[in-house]
Structure 1
Amino acid sequence: MPDSSWSRAVFAQIHARPTAALALSLLDAGFLVLACLGGLLLVGWEHPVGPAALVFPAADLLFLYAMGLYRREALVETGETLGRVPIAAGIAGLVGWAVTAALPAPLGTPDTHLLFAAAVPCFAAAGLTARLVLHLLRRRGAFRRRLLVIGAGRRAWDLVWLLRHEARTLAFDVVFVHDARMGELDARLAANPAHEIVSGLESLLPAVHRINPDQIVVAPDERRGLAMEGLLACRMAGYPVSEYAQFLEREIGRIDLKRLDLNWLLYADGFVIGTMDRILKRMLDLAVSIAVLLVTAPTLLVAALAVKLGDGGPVFYRQDRVSRGGRVFRIVKLRTMTTNAEQGGAVWAAKADPRITAVGSLLRRTRLDELPQLFNVLRGDMAFVGPRPERPEFIHELAAKLPLYEDRHLMRAGLTGWAQVNYPYGASLNDARSKLSYDLFYIKNFSILFDLRIILQTLRVVFWPGGVR
């Protein structure tokens, strides 16, 4: 890395992003260009290629993202997610064909069936090739980042563990700075010869020059004795310095509640939702809900008929849930349990719950039972994206045990959300704590673009509903 402060600042901006995902998106775009040219030659395309033809590659990139193929698990476990690439290519081909065929003559493209025939196999080949190249680059050590962690105690160990299991960037080389004034040396770090540990803060800048980290993370167990002058000198020399919670939030996509510092949360950016944001969000809720209802109306009717024929009971199930500001509303879902499922009181659904009917099990796995909630969205009880609506009985219990739990009600409850697309169905206090960490991250970092990302990633949850009960 160059020595100048300016170049270090540029590299810091690059490393603040999930570089493997960024590299994969560039590989996908490059191979898509080659695939499009090859596909046109393959079908003997003779017409001028207009702007409308760009719908096909744009749709492919969109659905690669929607299928979760830029997420950490897809980047780390490449072989387990390759089957999604042809599915994304097929859906993108259908969308591209539908859009270009519907365009009027000056904008449309003739022989769209030929474009579809060429797009699906070529896009699938391009996506598979890009992931093979990424895998080979990773095996050669690409995308590794070098961290200097100030501290070598329990908090530093937690940081390493979370980065290893949850970070969206893939690999780190970590060096720790230990000083007795900042807490004891964690035995788990000391016992691992792969961890380099630097003693003392007196000469931090020379050590930083030697290690040349991409990021300095301040994570001591005890802040007394922390050499702020040394850290400031590193910052002035062009090395990016981040506080533990700030760095971890960016890397794992949630707020770590286990080591939460309320002082950091108080002064951190975010948790600001303006009037225009709420107006745009409501417009997005209405547009997406109406579009989904129009597309899924026949499926919803068939599912409702299946529930009725299954045991003769009511089709819909209504239940009290909590939304923004603690307001209680009646949620509407297709019934998936027996009619007397809660005669003994409210309980969380369990794995292989005997109360779930045969039809209900299928509806839950396909998420079709959630579709009637779109009417709650249209009425304004819910948003399309937001924290999962919970029952009042559980809210009181969880709020008493989990700090900041009530703060998830700063926004309307959602049909889908950041917690729903990142964490499986939960039915315990630990699950609720994990989901709360995602909900707080969503509220803190809310934007309309963030909502659009979540809506796209919901497709992955629908097609691969792991953890649904």
Structure 2
Amino acid sequence: MIWKAWHDLPNDMRCESVRPYYEILASKRSDLLIKFIFDRLMAIILLFALSPIFLVLAVWIKVDSDGPVFFRQERVTQYGKTFKIYKFRTMVQNAEQIGAQVTSKGDMRVTTVGKALRKCRLDELPQLINILEGTMSFVGTRPEVPKYVASYTDEMKATLLLPAGVTSIASIQYKDEDTLLDAADDVDKCYVQNVLPAKMEWNLRSIVEFSFFRELKVMVETVLAVIR
């Protein structure tokens, strides 16, 4: 995991609102190193072990609807860098051109197979590739599209000190986020003004309480949440 000196941070992150979070993480370098090693090793093991499931899901997606197996979208990760996130495609082709960049519960763009994958969070499995690439981690703030990152307050930018994550406490708390957005007249506006700030409170708290063992606990809680 790349850890930059304070003076090497992007200009917009080098502010007093971010500094306390930076100093907290800087004092936990050993936990950050363990997190880096764990991410890579576990990603390799899971990619190998789950390869048969990847194949089955890929065939299922192709049979269900036209379009590619994988969905790739530009997101933002550590230090504000953009990357392409991998997901199994759960929507119709060109979904981004015909709707918001977040989904509501009754979103008609979601395919039949997509509904099943989303319910069990199986659409997130390809992010093991992102973890292996180093653009994501198992636990961390969920990566947003640049459009939403542009609305971050200075304090929210502290979440960009670490790689984006597949799961987090905020993700567990807002696992039914699509239901919250379902009744909104303007989904994007509702997400930026209501949902995003609430999720960021959890994400910032996670930085303050960061430790490798706490992240293991979040991973276990995520599995339990999906089962429930």
Q: TM-score if structure 1 supplies the norm length?
A: 0.40
| RCO comparison, higher one (Cα < 8 Å, 6+) | 2
Q: Is 1:341 aligned to 2:95, yes or no?
A: yes
Q: Is 1:389 aligned to 2:150, yes or no?
A: no
Question: SS where residue 57 of structure 2 aligns?
Answer: helix
Larger radius of gyration: 1
Q: Is 1:459 aligned to 2:223, yes or no?
A: yes
1:370 aligns with one of 120, 124, 132:
124
Q: Which residue of 2 aligns with 1:412?
A: 163
Taking the aligned partners of 2:207 and 2:141, their CA distance within structure 1 comes to: 9
Q: Is 1:304 aligned to 2:58, yes or no?
A: yes
Say whether the 8 Å CA contact 1:272–1:444 is kept in structure 2. no
Taking the aligned partners of 1:282 and 1:347, their CA distance within structure 2 comes to: 30
Q: CA deviation at 1:440?
A: 0.4
Q: Is 1:315 aligned to 2:69, yes or no?
A: yes
Q: CA deviation at 1:273?
A: 4.8
2:207 aligns with one of 440, 443, 450:
443
Q: CA deviation at 1:292?
A: 2.6
Taking the aligned partners of 1:282 and 1:415, their CA distance within structure 2 comes to: 14
Q: CA deviation at 1:348?
A: 1.7
Letter in 2 for 1:404: E
Say whether the 8 Å CA contact 1:300–1:368 is kept in structure 2. no
Taking the aligned partners of 1:266 and 1:318, their CA distance within structure 2 comes to: 34
Letter in 2 for 1:315: V
Q: Which residue of 2 aligns with 1:58?
A: none
Taking the aligned partners of 1:355 and 1:345, their CA distance within structure 2 comes to: 8
Taking the aligned partners of 2:97 and 2:31, their CA distance within structure 1 comes to: 42
Q: CA deviation at 1:419?
A: 1.2
Taking the aligned partners of 1:425 and 1:329, their CA distance within structure 2 comes to: 25
Letter in 1 for 2:194: N
1:62-86 deviations in Å (ceiling 9; x for gaps): xxxxxxxxxxxxxxxxxxxxxxxxx
Say whether the 8 Å CA contact 2:85–2:130 is kept in structure 1. yes
Say whether the 8 Å CA contact 1:385–1:416 is kept in structure 2. yes
Q: CA deviation at 1:275?
A: 3.5
Say whether the 8 Å CA contact 1:271–1:445 is kept in structure 2. no
Q: Is 1:379 aligned to 2:133, yes or no?
A: yes
Q: CA deviation at 1:425?
A: 4.3
Taking the aligned partners of 1:424 and 1:272, their CA distance within structure 2 comes to: 30
Q: CA deviation at 1:345?
A: 6.4
Q: Is 1:278 aligned to 2:32, yes or no?
A: yes
Question: SS where residue 95 of structure 2 aligns?
Answer: coil
Say whether the 8 Å CA contact 2:66–2:92 is kept in structure 1. no
Say whether the 8 Å CA contact 2:32–2:212 is kept in structure 1. no
Taking the aligned partners of 1:422 and 1:346, their CA distance within structure 2 comes to: 22
Q: Which residue of 1 aligns with 2:196?
A: 432
Say whether the 8 Å CA contact 1:317–1:334 is kept in structure 2. yes
Say whether the 8 Å CA contact 2:71–2:86 is kept in structure 1. yes
Q: CA deviation at 1:287?
A: 2.5
Q: How does 1:60-209 map to 2 (within 5 A)?
A: none
Letter in 1 for 2:71: Y
1:126-145 deviations in Å (ceiling 9; x for gaps): xxxxxxxxxxxxxxxxxxxx
Letter in 2 for 1:390: E
Taking the aligned partners of 2:25 and 2:206, their CA distance within structure 1 comes to: 9
Say whether the 8 Å CA contact 1:334–1:372 is kept in structure 2. yes
* Unaligned residue ranges in structure 2 (runs of 5+): 1-15, 182-190
Q: CA deviation at 1:272?
A: 3.5
1:119-163 deviations in Å (ceiling 9; x for gaps): xxxxxxxxxxxxxxxxxxxxxxxxxxxxxxxxxxxxxxxxxxxxx
Q: CA deviation at 1:386?
A: 0.5
Taking the aligned partners of 2:59 and 2:98, their CA distance within structure 1 comes to: 28
Q: Which residue of 1 aligns with 2:78?
A: 324
Q: TM-score if structure 2 supplies the norm length?
A: 0.79
Structure 1 335/266 Cα, relative in aligned 2: closer, same or farther at 3 Å? Answer: closer
Taking the aligned partners of 2:224 and 2:86, their CA distance within structure 1 comes to: 23
Letter in 2 for 1:301: L
Question: SS where residue 105 of structure 2 aligns?
Answer: coil
Question: SS where residue 362 of structure 1 aligns?
Answer: helix
Q: CA deviation at 1:346?
A: 4.7
Q: Is 1:421 aligned to 2:172, yes or no?
A: yes
Taking the aligned partners of 2:207 and 2:93, their CA distance within structure 1 comes to: 36
Q: What is the aligned residue count?
A: 198
Taking the aligned partners of 1:421 and 1:278, their CA distance within structure 2 comes to: 22
